[in-house]
């Protein structure tokens, strides 16, 4: 990701749902070296922020007793300057609003939405908390990827809502802002099971992709895509944590 801080329209945060919060903390702390702190305020419901040193990098959200009705997934969050105006754009572009705009005390405003194909993502207007304090370093967010069966509709939707640039080649489509690419798009073909919905996948930078994949397996996770070197790109792998949430990793030494 060529962005090094949260900017309006770009990814600023990621969070994972955890039926077992303590198990999630153990898994990701072992994998990425995170230090975790749970917000003690009752209204925050056990929301837990992960840190690298003193920099916040992402969050773990306890799903509790309602877990069977809630997806165990990673959510990508995009920063916006005006939450209500962006939610209106989502609606007018054919998306849906899952959670209407609401306030997070002393931090910002939040909404949860989906694109026309059902890929869920979150919107954040900061009012004291901007999001991740570091990108691209080992253990932090470094790329976000949309997997969809309707790439042309996706291009129309996201460029309308966020004003992203589209840098497309025969191999891959990349999203950008002001010349800085931060994510990409994969077209889901017949290799993807029909029941797998369109979704956003966060990628975390790591020092060694092969070692991280092995560590994930040892910690009870699963390797969904074995480590491989992308054409003209970094070494990558796609993993699943022990509770079912998917995420990607890539070599932090890759220079875009």
Residues 85 and 176 in one domain: no
Residues 117 and 153 in one domain: no
- Report the percentage of the chain scoring pLDDT > 90: 78
Question: Residue 72's domain spans which residues?
Answer: 11-126
pLDDT surpasses 80 at 44 = no
Q: pLDDT by residue (tens digit) across 60-102?
A: 999 865 544 567 899 999 999 999 999 999 999 999 999 999 9
Helix ranges (DSSP H) in 10-82? 21-32
Rounded to the nearest 10 degrees, the angle between the axes of helix 151-162 and helix 83-92 is: 150
By C-alpha distance, which of 137, 175, 133 is closest to 13? 133
- In the chain, how many domains are there? 2
Residue 107's SS3 state is coil
Q: pLDDT by residue (tens digit) across 131-149?
A: 999 999 999 999 999 999 9
Q: What is the CATH number of the domain that holds 159?
A: 3.10.180.10
168's tokens: 């497309």
Residues 159 and 112 in one domain: no
| Amino acid 19: pLDDT | 92
Residue positions counted in the chain = 256
By C-alpha distance, which of 80, 76, 47, 50 is closest to 185? 76
For residue 32, being part of any structural domain is answered with yes
pLDDT-derived band at 42 (thresholds 50, 70, 90) equals confident
Considering 102, 126, 150, which residue would you say is the last residue of a domain?
126
Residues 80 and 182 in one domain: no
Q: Which of the two residues, 27 and 196, has the higher pLDDT score? A: 27
**What CA–CA distance (Å, rounded) separates 195 from 70?**
16
By C-alpha distance, which of 214, 218, 234 is closest to 226? 214
Cα end-to-end span (Å), the chain: 8
Q: Taking a C-beta distance cutoff of 8 angstroms, is the pair 8, 182 a contact?
A: no
């Amino acid at each position: 990701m060529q962005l090094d801080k949260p900017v309006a329209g770009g990814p600023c945060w990621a969070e994972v749902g955890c039926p077992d919060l303590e198990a999630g903390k153990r898994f990701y702390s072992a994998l990425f070296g995170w230090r975790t702190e749970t917000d003690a305020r009752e209204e925050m419901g056990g929301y837990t922020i992960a840190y690298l040193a003193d920099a916040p990098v992402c969050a773990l959200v306890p799903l509790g007793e309602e877990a069977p009705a809630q997806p165990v997934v990673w959510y990508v969050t995009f920063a916006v300057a005006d939450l209500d105006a962006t939610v209106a754009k989502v609606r007018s572009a054919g998306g849906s609003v899952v959670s209407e705009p609401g306030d997070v005390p002393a931090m910002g405003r939040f909404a949860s939405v989906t694109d026309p194909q059902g890929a869920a993502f979150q919107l954040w207007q900061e009012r004291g908390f901007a999001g991740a304090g570091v990108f691209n370093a080992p253990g932090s967010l470094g790329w976000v990827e949309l997997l969809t069966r309707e790439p042309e509709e996706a291009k129309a939707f996201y460029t309308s809502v966020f004003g992203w640039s589209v840098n497309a080649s025969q191999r891959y489509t990349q999203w950008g802002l002001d010349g800085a690419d931060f994510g990409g798009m994969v077209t889901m073909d017949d290799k993807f099971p029909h029941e797998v919905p369109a979704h956003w996948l966060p990628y975390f930078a790591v020092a060694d992709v092969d070692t991280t994949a092995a560590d994930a397996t040892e910690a009870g996770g699963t390797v969904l895509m074995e480590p491989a070197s992308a054409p003209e790109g970094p070494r990558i792998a796609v993993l699943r944590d022990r509770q079912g949430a998917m995420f990607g990793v890539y070599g932090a030494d890759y220079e875009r």
